[in-house]
Structure 1
């Protein structure tokens, strides 16, 4: 298994060309939000060099409702927790699975939406044996996401060879080349970015086993951020009640997003 990379604060790459500020006249303090822009349509850098995507639009909407002055910066996933812990950012705006160990270490918002886990293969692949047919083969996933590793080992065996990647695009390049048998990720990402092209398919229905997917996904903060979390939660409540979350879900994923 590829070792999970641990980066120092100095190694965290902030893409200065991709910074958005959500200003508000009522907010004096800047809330620094880090989002990994390598996950289109959740977050990406558009042709103008600007941050875009569902998570970017949702963060902007929530910060406006919460009357917070939020500065959104592109922070790669493999350095995003270090950036949070060292104060480089105040909030991880990439939605993250809320698990017991994470909630013990960090503060988090309410559940924003739920996802399942699934395996992606080329459209031509034989999936007649389902997930069982992947056993004994090399599987790709996103490096640094422990719940993905746990899910793969639980469904395919502890001795499964797991290859970690920094982005879905990098993993699927190896999938196309035959260097891995399948790419494991969340179902929304896989369905929107890859299955929708007609070139790929899921091996089986997504799993919503709470041992791995947790209760759902939310935003994370350093311990001791309860006041900020309360403001963000209030903004989230308003945005979700207004139907804005489902509007973004339809825009970017062609599906409604539920936190229930």
Structure 2
């Protein structure tokens, strides 16, 4: 009888240890839009993979935090952050004044340029000005893209928003839009590399459009969490891990501010 009581007490104690804060660390919830290969996509076995996924995992490992990464579509990712469904937007997002007024941001991770994509047989002898008066596609809700298109082609430009690059390019192929505007890095990897498309001009890196670069975003008042992730990013960048992940998925090394 005594041995049975002892066994029960031991099992109860062991259970308490496993549920203590040290062993039951609350996960940091991170949302990544997995519709932008090679940045992030869902593999055939259902797992999230890609540049942004690996970078997030590398930083979480560096800061020794339990991170829960989930696929959150772009059109709902900010609502998920606002409602605390997630704690961080793990899709790297362009830093803009408007976003910084509403959210906290990590350090800038890397910079990209903006560009217009057209079919390989399109006449682009007139450069970007030749797109004036035509319908232009871009990613819905991405304010800096809309600002750039209007600055290049006029405030009255017919801008059509899409949930993903693939959806936009389907309309480009069908002739429903004249060009698709997005970041040059994404366009190069996903579309130019196929030989079916080309850029109207080289990507534009003017900071008045592309801003300081791309970062991760958090709810306002998340200074402690931001500082923690910045420390992890600094370590990952200094170790060369960012370049390693960049070469793996994008065949490029990043220049970071």
| Alignment partner, residue 6 of structure 2 | none
In structure 1, the residue corresponding to 2:180 is in which secondary structure? strand
Q: What corresponds to 2:233 in structure 1?
A: 236
Question: Normalization by structure 2: what TM-score?
Answer: 0.90
Q: Is 2:106 the counterpart of 1:109?
A: yes
CA–CA separation in structure 1 for the residues paired with 2:183 and 2:76:
20
Corresponding residue pairs, total: 236
Secondary structure of 1:184 counterpart? strand
Counterpart in 2 of 1:213?
Answer: 210
CA distance in 2, matches of 1:221, 1:119: 30
More helix by share: 2
Question: CA separation in 2, counterparts of 1:218 and 1:87?
Answer: 19
CA contact (8 A) 1:112 1:217 kept: yes
1:57 aligned onto 2:61: no
Question: Contact (CA 8 Å) 1:27, 1:68: kept in 2 or not?
Answer: no
Q: 1:73 aligns with which of 67, 70, 88?
A: 70
TM-superposed deviation, 1:177 = 0.6
CA change 1:96–1:27 in 2 (3 A) is farther
User: Distance between the aligned counterparts of 2:173 and 2:98, measured in 1?
Assistant: 35
Larger radius of gyration: 2
Residue equivalent to 2:18: none
RMSD: 1.1
Corresponding residue for 1:135? 132
Residue correspondence of structure 1 range 189-208 to structure 2 within 5 A: 189-208=186-205
Deviations 1:130-183 (A, max 9, x none): 001101100000000011011000000111101100000000000011110000
Alignment partner for residue 115 of structure 2, among 103, 111, 118? 118
1:246 is aligned to 243
- Give 1:175's aligned residue: 172
CA distance in 2, matches of 1:27, 1:34: 21
Runs of 4+ that moved beyond 2 A: none
The 2-side partners of 1:142 and 1:40 are apart by 14
- Structure 1-normalised TM-score? 0.89
Matched residue of 2:212: which SS?
coil
Matched residue, 1:4: none
